[in-house]
C-alpha cells in the first residue's frame, strides 16, 4: 500500500489546482485521472467548443460582409477538417501545459487509471492500493442519454463526440433546447448545415425568464434554425439517407442527431458505498457548506457535487477548499453568487436571480429593461439583437440579478457581478462614469430606470 498526504480523484478544474497548492505546502499528493488532464473544460467543453464558436462566427461575419461594405466574391466555404484541427490544437496545448506543469512538481504523483474506494481512506487503481487521510473527488459529469424510442438503433452524437466531427452534417437535429444544445445549433447553422432543435419543454433555455427565452428563440430563428418546443413524444428510426426524428407534431429528415439533454455525475463506478459517501437521487455527491461529504476526510468538488456545473464554479470550489484547509480561512459555498453565460451570438450573460425567482422570494422588486437597439455601441457594430435586464431590491437597494442578452453580454455582465459580490447598492453604481462608446456604459442608465412592479 502506498501512502500519501492527500489523494485527488479527477483532474478537472478544481482537483489539479488544489493538488498543486498542497504540494506547495510540502505534502505528498496522488492525482488520479482515468482519461485526460483538464477535465471537461479542456477536453470536451469550454476550450474546444468556444474555439468552434469562434470559427462559426468568422463564417457568419464573412457571409454578412456586404452589410458593412466589405464584398467577398463567391461562396463562403467551410473546411471542417481545419475547423476541427484548430479546436484540437487549443485542447492539446492546454492539456500538454498541465502535463508539463505537474511533471515539474516534486511531491506530485500523476496516475492514469480508474480509481475505486476500498474504504473511507483507501482507493485502488491499476491493481495498486493507495491510502491518505484526505481524499478529494473531482470526477466531473458526462452527457445523459435519455431512454427514447429507437435511440439505440441510430448512431447519435453527444457534446463530446460532435467535437471530433470532421465533416459538415446535411441536417443536424439537436435534441434538447438548453445551453449546450443551443450553442451547437447556432454553430452548425453558421457552418452551413440545416439545423432543427427539438425541446420537450414549452421554452428554450427553461431556466431563464420567458422574455429571455423568447428572445433567444428569435435570435436562432432569424438565422434559419427550425425550433420545435413542447415535443412530448420523440422517436428515432433509420432512413435511406440518414435518421428520421419524429415528434408528436413534426417529422424531421436528419443526417445527424445530437443528444443534448443534460449531464449526470461520474459517481456510479467509484465504489462510494465502500466509503459510505452519500449521494442524492440524481447521483450528485452531497456536500456541506465547505464541500465536505458526510464522511470525515472526503470532499467533493466541481460538477459531481451538483453546485454549479461550470468551469468557474469548479475553480471556486478549489478556492473554497484551499482557503479553509490550507489558509485557515472561512470560505463557504453559500456565499457564492452564481453567474454564467450562454455562448450563442449574441451571448447571454447572467448573474443572480431571475425575475421569476425574485418574485417568488418575496422581495419588493424593481426592474429595468433596455433593448440593445438603444445601445450606441450595438448600433455602430450593427448587432442590435437582445436586451438588458436588471432586478433590484426596493428596500435594501441591492442588485438581485441581471441578464444581458446582446453584443458582449458575457463581458458586460461582470460589472454587475462585481457590484453584487462587493455588496454595492445600485444608487452607488449610478454615479460611475463609464467609458464611451461601450456596451457597459449603459449600466448606470439601466439602473436609473429601475421601477417597481
As a whole number of angstroms, the distance between CA 348 and CA 358 comes to: 19
151 contacts: CB under 8 Å, gap ≥ 6: 145, 236, 259
**Same fold for the pair 2-142+264-335 and 151-261:** yes
As separate numbers, helices (DSSP H) first and strands (DSSP E) second, the chain gives 13, 24
Instruction: Take residue 104 and report the three cell numbers written for it.
Output: 515539474
Average pLDDT, the chain: 97
Q: How confident is the model at residue 374 (pLDDT cuts 50, 70, 90)?
A: very high
Percent of the chain exceeding pLDDT 70 equals: 100
Assigned fold of 151-261: FAD/NAD(P)-binding domain (3.50.50)
Q: Are 443 and 429 in contact (CB under 8 A)?
A: yes
Given the residues 200, 256, 414, 436, select the one marked as catalytic. 436
Condensed to tens digits (0 to 9), the pLDDT of residues 257-266 reads 999 999 999 9
* Predicted confidence (pLDDT) at residue 449 exceeds the cutoff of 90: yes
Condensed to tens digits (0 to 9), the pLDDT of residues 53-100 reads 999 999 999 999 999 999 999 999 999 999 999 999 999 999 999 999
User: CA quadruple 279, 285, 287, 293: dihedral positive or negative?
Assistant: positive
CB neighbour burial string for 69-103, b if at least 16 within 10 angstroms, e if fewer: eeeeeeebebebeebbebbeebbeebbeebeeebe
Specify the CATH number of the domain 340-452.
3.30.390.30
* Full-model pTM: 0.96
Q: Is 436 a catalytic residue?
A: yes
Condensed to tens digits (0 to 9), the pLDDT of residues 206-222 reads 999 999 999 999 999 99
Condensed to tens digits (0 to 9), the pLDDT of residues 381-418 reads 999 999 999 999 999 999 999 999 999 999 999 999 99
Q: Are 401 and 352 in contact (CB under 8 A)?
A: yes
Residue ranges per domain, the chain? 2-142+264-335, 151-261, 340-452
Q: How confident is the model at residue 435 (pLDDT cuts 50, 70, 90)?
A: very high
Question: Residue 430 has what pLDDT?
Answer: 93
Condensed to tens digits (0 to 9), the pLDDT of residues 182-196 reads 999 999 999 999 999
Question: Residue 312 has what pLDDT?
Answer: 97
Question: Residue 282 has what pLDDT?
Answer: 96
CB neighbour burial string for 209-236, b if at least 16 within 10 angstroms, e if fewer: beebbebbbebbeeeebbbbbebeebeb
Q: What is the DSSP letter of 425?
A: B
**CATH superfamily for domain 2-142+264-335:** FAD/NAD(P)-binding domain (3.50.50.60)
* Predicted confidence (pLDDT) at residue 345 exceeds the cutoff of 90: yes
As a whole number of angstroms, the distance between CA 148 and CA 234 comes to: 7
* Predicted confidence (pLDDT) at residue 308 exceeds the cutoff of 90: no
Q: Are 389 and 450 in contact (CB under 8 A)?
A: no
Picking from 373, 64, 378, the residue whose alpha carbon sits closest to that of residue 190 is 64
Amino acid at each position: 500500500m502506498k501512502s500519501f498526504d492527500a489523494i485527488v480523484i479527477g483532474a478537472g478544474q478544481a482537483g489539479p489546482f488544489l493538488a498543486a497548492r498542497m504540494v506547495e505546502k510540502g505534502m505528498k499528493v496522488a492525482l488520479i485521472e482515468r482519461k485526460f488532464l483538464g477535465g471537461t473544460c479542456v477536453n470536451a467543453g469550454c476550450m474546444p467548443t468556444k474555439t468552434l464558436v469562434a470559427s462559426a462566427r468568422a463564417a457568419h461575419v464573412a457571409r454578412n460582409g456586404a452589410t458593412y461594405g466589405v464584398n467577398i466574391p463567391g461562396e463562403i466555404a467551410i473546411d471542417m477538417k481545419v475547423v476541427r484541427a484548430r479546436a484540437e490544437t487549443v485542447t492539446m496545448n492546454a492539456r500538454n501545459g498541465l502535463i508539463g506543469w505537474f511533471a515539474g512538481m516534486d511531491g506530485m504523483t500523476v496516475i492514469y487509471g480508474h480509481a475505486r474506494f476500498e474504504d473511507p481512506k483507501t482507493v485502488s487503481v491499476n491493481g495498486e492500493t493507495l491510502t491518505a487521510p484526505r481524499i478529494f473527488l473531482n470526477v466531473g459529469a458526462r452527457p445523459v442519454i435519455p431512454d427514447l424510442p429507437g435511440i439505440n438503433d441510430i448512431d447519435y452524437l453527444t457534446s463530446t463526440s460532435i467535437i471530433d466531427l470532421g465533416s459538415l452534417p446535411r441536417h443536424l437535429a439537436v435534441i434538447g433546447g438548453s445551453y449546450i444544445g443551443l450553442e451547437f445549433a447556432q454553430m452548425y447553422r453558421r457552418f452551413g448545415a440545416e439545423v432543427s432543435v427539438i425541446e420537450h419543454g414549452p421554452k428554450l433555455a427553461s431556466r431563464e425568464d420567458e422574455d429571455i427565452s423568447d428572445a433567444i428563440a428569435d435570435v436562432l430563428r432569424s438565422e434559419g434554425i427550425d425550433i420545435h418546443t413542447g415535443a412530448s413524444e420523440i422517436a428515432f428510426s433509420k432512413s435511406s439517407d440518414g435518421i428520421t426524428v419524429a415528434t408528436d407534431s413534426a417529422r424531421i429528415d436528419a443526417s445527424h442527431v445530437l443528444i443534448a439533454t443534460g449531464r449526470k455525475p461520474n459517481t456510479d463506478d467509484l465504489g462510494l458505498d465502500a466509503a459510505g459517501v452519500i449521494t442524492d437521487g440524481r447521483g450528485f455527491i452531497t456536500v456541506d457548506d465547505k464541500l465536505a461529504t458526510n464522511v470525515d476526510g472526503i470532499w467533493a468538488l466541481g460538477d459531481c457535487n451538483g453546485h454549479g456545473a461550470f468551469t468557474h464554479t469548479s475553480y471556486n470550489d478549489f478556492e473554497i477548499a484551499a482557503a479553509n484547509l490550507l489558509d485557515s480561512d472561512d470560505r463557504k459555498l453559500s456565499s457564492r453568487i452564481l453567474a454564467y453565460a450562454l455562448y450563442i451570438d449574441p451571448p447571454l450573460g447572467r448573474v443572480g436571480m431571475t425575475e421569476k425567482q425574485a418574485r417568488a422570494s418575496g422581495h419588493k422588486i424593481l426592474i429595468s429593461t433596455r433593448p440593445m437597439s438603444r445601445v450606441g455601441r450595438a448600433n455602430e457594430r450593427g448587432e442590435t439583437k437582445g436586451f438588458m435586464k436588471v432586478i433590484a431590491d426596493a428596500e435594501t437597494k441591492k442588485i438581485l440579478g441581471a441578464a444581458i442578452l446582446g453584443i458582449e453580454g458575457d463581458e458586460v455582465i461582470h460589472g454587475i457581478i462585481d457590484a453584487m459580490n462587493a455588496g454595492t447598492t445600485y444608487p452607488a453604481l449610478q454615479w460611475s462614469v463609464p467609458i464611451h462608446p461601450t456596451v457597459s456604459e449603459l449600466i448606470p442608465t439601466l439602473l436609473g430606470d429601475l421601477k417597481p412592479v
